[in-house]
Amino acid sequence: MHDATGVASIGWLMIGLPALGAALLLLGGKKLDKAGPYLATLLSWASFVIGLLILLQLRGKSPEDRGMHQHLFDWITTGKFNLSAGLQYDQLSLTFVMLITFVGSLITVYSLGYMEHDPDKRRFFAYLNLFVASMLLLVLADSYTLLFVGWEGVGLASYLLIGFWNWNPAYATAANKAFFLNRIGDMGMLIAMFVMFWAFGKVDFAGVNAGVEHAGKGTMLAIGLALLVAACGKSAQFPLQSWLGDAMAGPTPVSALIHAATMVTAGVYLIVRSHVIFNASEDARLAVCIVGAITLFAGAVIGCAKDDLKKALAASTMSQIGYMVLAAGLGPVGYAFAIFHLLTHGFFKAGMFLGAGSVMHGMNDQVNMRRFGGLWTVMRITWVTFGLGFLAIIGFPGLSGFWSKDKIIEAAFEGSGWKPWVFGLTALIAAGITAFYMSRMFFMTFMGKRRWTEDVHPHESPLTMTIPMMVLAIGSAFLGLILGPTGIITDWLEPVVGKHEGGEHVLGAAPLMVATFVLMVIGVAMAWRMYWRDAVPVAPPVGSPLTQAARRDLGQDDFNQAAIQRPGLHLTRALVFFDNKVVDGVGNGSAAGIGGSSARLKKMQNGFVRTYSLTMLLGVAAILGAVWVVR
């Protein structure tokens, strides 16, 4: 890889400018209340411009030596372990830079309108800039360690933004949950790095990739699985998915940016970036496929049962990222399509989230779709832009999702044996379910009869909000057509992720396309019957056991509680603590605070020395006994 020249030599400014913005806005105080948000927006766009110039610079070179590397500083230098912090500009990272800065900047513009009346908006824009900076660091980093810094940075920003309206305790809990499940993912990341360090003595991409061919299968599998755990945490994949639905507590632009378009796709980036490792371990790839397939199916089922507009979109995000993870797990055949779907999804899902925000803006922040209906008459722009996103995601021929998702389904059918059938059919059937739940969402919100509550007066949102929606809608419509059938995206990414020679399919491309189309039509038709033609009841019907399970997120939380919380954490006792704090915390607190109340202190101090010394003695006996037995 070459040293960075030209515009790329100031590429670090892409990260530096938004980081500076975040610092200025956080430290600047009330003086920046007015100008701050505009400054944040400007800096975000500046990053986009630099990214675009670097992209053009890369395009001017021959495909093989497009990658550039920039050394920033020596981070950890000790005897045999040297780690420098550097940035890497190649086709993959630049693709992400474009998505992050473009969608991110659009959403910052949208937030100017959406958060206009929020007293704390300076803080909000500071967090947005912090997020953009961290996310760019994540994708531009040249080592797993530096990537991890960005990885934690986006986690922190996401956490701060989910809990932004922290006056609501439930929101704070949601933020907490997101953070905790992400920590489990981070653990995977750390273990992966430790194993890399042990096996290769290096944790930078170039060093690890160079070492892979000499490493054993077991090592590769261990690293691959640990990376998969990391990806599951960040990308809300099974079994660490349950935080995403709750994360919808954050302001809607946040859901669009972080929990749809960018941060949650970091896991996909991680897998594709580590493709050398995954190429070397078929078992690790299989695990990735299984996780992706389970998530894409579960997300689709959950999406069918949610009445909360944002939570339904969140379930859909989970499902779509499941598609990307599945594609990444398929190996060289799928890497490029995973990234391609990630791009198109970034546009249409962000667009729909912004549309949802616009609907909420007009409907007094309601999210219950059963109280929507017929909104197309009053919110024309939102209706059209959301509609384009909707058509794109269900894979309507010609629109973006059609080009990217169908490619993944097609790739899943490649190969021989049981795998293509299982993964292919899962992806195919879930596409039908996707058509159903997305149509359900669209029809319940915009079509059919008005079921509004009495106090709402829906209206179209201001231009700062609708323009970004229009731009994203254009992307939803045409991005796939521009990049997909022309082969631009696959050719562009080929030097990074490797070339794939077409293989055997268990099912041909033409029958697949027909099958996908038929399933989509069936899905839409069923939704039309139930949610447009027939009246939608305002109160949710009891529903089948499956519906009920899906409403409870297919028992995600129950699962977490049984598998993570209860045994490991004694969380029940922690909850008792929270109860105490809320209910009688004040009483307890002051009692404990007064030093003189010795009776109470004695009660707290019920550990007797004799018990303690007995514990020690038993410990000694156990140690000596164990050694005696072993010998």
Partner 1 sequence: MTSPATFTQAHISYAAVVPMLVIFGAAMVGVLVEAFVPRAMRYWTQLGVTFAGLVASFLTLVLISRNNKGITAADAVVIDGPALMLQGTILVLSVLAVMLMAERFDTRSADAFTQSGASVPGSPMETNAVRLGATSTEVFPLVLFSVGGMMLFVAAGDLLVMFIALEVLSLPLYILTGLARRRRLLSQEASLKYFLLGAFSSAFFLFGSALVFGATGSIKFGEIADAVGKVNGRDDILIPGMLLVAVGLLFKIGAVPFHTWTPDVYQGAPSPVSGFMATTVKVAGFGAMLRLFYVALEGLSWNWQPVIAIVAVLTMVVGAVFAVTQTDMKRLLAYSSISHAGFLLVGVVALNKTGLSGTMFYLVAYSFTTLAAFGMVPLVRSAGSEATHLSQWAGLGKTSPILAATFSFLLLGFAGIPLTSGFTAKFALFSGAVGHGATWLVVIAMLMSAVTAFVYIRIIVLMYFSDPTGDTHVLFPSALTGISVTVGALATLVLGVAPAPLLNLAQHSSLFLR
User: In the window 603-622, what residues touch partner 1 (CB under 8 A)?
Assistant: 604-605, 607, 609, 611-613, 615-616, 618-620, 622
Binding positions for partner 1, 83-112, rule CB under 8 A: none
In the list 482, 514, 562, 624, the residue contacting partner 1 (rule: CB under 8 A) is: 624
Choices 178-186, 281-289, 381-389, 512-520 (CB under 8 A): range interacting with partner 1 = 178-186
Question: CA 282 → CA 197, 205, 210, distances in Å?
Answer: 22, 20, 19
Give per-residue burial for 391-421: e unless 16+ CB within 10 Å, then b.
Answer: bbbbbbeebbbbbbbbbbbbbbbbbeeebbe
Rg (C-alpha) for the chain, rounded Å, is 26
Q: What is the DSSP string of 549-600?
A: HHHTGGGHHHHHIIIIIHHHH-HHHHHHHHHHHHHSHHHHHHHHH-TT-HHH
What whole-number distance in Å separates Cα of residue 94 and Cα of residue 328?
Answer: 18
Binding status of residue 170 toward partner 1 by CB under 8 A: no
| Interhelix angle 36-59/121-140, nearest 10 degrees | 20
CB of 239 to partner 1, least distance (A): 14
Tell me the per-residue interface mask from 116 to 155 with partner 1, x by CB under 8 A, - otherwise. Answer: -----------------------------x--xx--xx--
User: Is residue 592 a contact point for partner 1 (CB under 8 A)?
Assistant: yes
Residue 535 CB coordination number (10 Å): 11
Our CB check for partner 1 shows the closer of 535 and 622 to be 622
> Which two structure tokens, joined as six digits, stand for 615?
């514990």
In the bound complex, what is the minimum distance in angstroms from residue 33's beta carbon to partner 1? 17
For residue 163, state whether it binds partner 1 (rule: CB under 8 A): yes
**Does 195 contact partner 1 by CB under 8 A?**
yes
421 near partner 1 (CB under 8 A): no
Stretch that binds partner 1, among 14-22, 283-291, 357-365, 586-594 (CB under 8 A): 586-594
Q: What's the CA angle centered on 240, arms 190 and 570, to 5 degrees? A: 85
Window 533-572: contact mask with partner 1 (x via CB under 8 A): -----------------------------------xxxx-
Give the nearest distance from C-beta 179 to partner 1 in angstroms: 5
DSSP symbol at 79: S
Longest dimension (CA), the chain: 83
Stretch that binds partner 1, among 169-177, 285-293, 308-316, 514-522 (CB under 8 A): 169-177
Q: Indicate the residue among 416 and 611 with the shorter CB distance to partner 1.
A: 611
Is 595 a binding residue for partner 1 by CB under 8 A? The answer is yes
For residue 366, the minimal CB distance to partner 1 (Å) is 24
Instruction: Assess 575 for contact with partner 1 (CB under 8 A).
Output: no
The helix/strand/coil state of 39 is: helix
Cis ω before 239 (30° cut-off from 0): yes
The nearest distance, CB 145 to partner 1, in angstroms, is: 8
Q: In this chain, which of 3, 9, 61, 166 binds partner 1, going by CB under 8 A?
A: 166
- Residue that has been written with the tokens 């056991």 in this structure: 545
In the range 49-78, which residues lie near partner 1 by CB under 8 A?
74-78
Q: What is the strand order of the sheet 82-89 is part of?
A: 2-3, 68-77, 82-89
User: What is the per-residue DSSP string for 189-241?
Assistant: HHHHHHHHHHHHS--BHHHHHHHGGGS-HHHHHHHHHHHHHHHHHHTT-TTST
- The answer to whether 157 and 134 are in contact (CB under 8 A) is yes
Stretch that binds partner 1, among 13-21, 106-114, 479-487, 596-604 (CB under 8 A): 596-604
CA distance 266 to 186: 12
Q: Which of 117, 214, 602, 603 binds partner 1 (CB under 8 A)?
A: 602
Looking at the Cβ atoms of 457 and 603, the one nearer to partner 1 is 603
Which residue, 96 or 151, has its beta carbon nearer to partner 1?
151
- Residue 21: which residues within 8 A CB-CB, separation 6 or more? 39, 40, 43, 44, 125, 126, 129
Number of residues that bind partner 1 (CB under 8 A): 74
Nearer to partner 1, 29 or 511 (CB): 29
CB of 394 to partner 1, least distance (A): 38
